[in-house]
Amino acid sequence: GDSVTQMEGPVTLSEEAFLTINCTYTATGYPSLFWYVQYPGEGLQLLLKATKADDKGSNKGFEATYRKETTSFHLEKGSVQVSDSAVYFCALSPTGNQFYFGTGTSLTVIP
């Protein structure tokens, strides 16, 4: 069935370091791919999305490219800030109405 596998955490980085969180997926057809972020005590918020192969989603300095050949959607940011500390979830939607989430990767950025 459809599923998402993302890199396990926790991840701890110094401020201004480069971030990569890996995400690979299994799906039939052409799903939409998402990254959601969850700050402490809050619900999930959409960070970025891509709906077809080679699309690049971007927001707040974060980027992810939909790679069909490697079934991946890795999240990257060139220079992280303390305020980026949160849990990041990769997700896919095969139909637009069903969503499958990864287990989440906790990021802590230290000054």
Closer to other proteins by CB, 12 or 79: give it.
12
Q: Which residues contact other proteins by CB under 8 A?
A: 4, 32, 34, 36, 41-46, 49, 51, 89, 91, 93, 95-99, 101-104
Instruction: Select from 77, 107, 89 the least CA-distant residue to 12.
Output: 107
Helix (H) or strand (E) holding 5: strand 3-6
Distance CA 11, CA 32 (A): 26
Query: CB 104 → other proteins: shortest distance, Å?
Result: 5
Distance CA 98, CA 42 (A): 22
Distance CA 33, CA 102 (A): 11
Query: CB 81 → other proteins: shortest distance, Å?
Result: 23
- In terms of C-beta density within 10 A (0-12 exposed, 13-18 middle, 19 or more buried), how is residue 6 classed? buried
Query: CB 76 → other proteins: shortest distance, Å?
Result: 20
Closer to other proteins by CB, 17 or 101: give it.
101
Closer to other proteins by CB, 17 or 38: give it.
38
Closer to other proteins by CB, 17 or 106: give it.
106
Query: CB 77 → other proteins: shortest distance, Å?
Result: 21
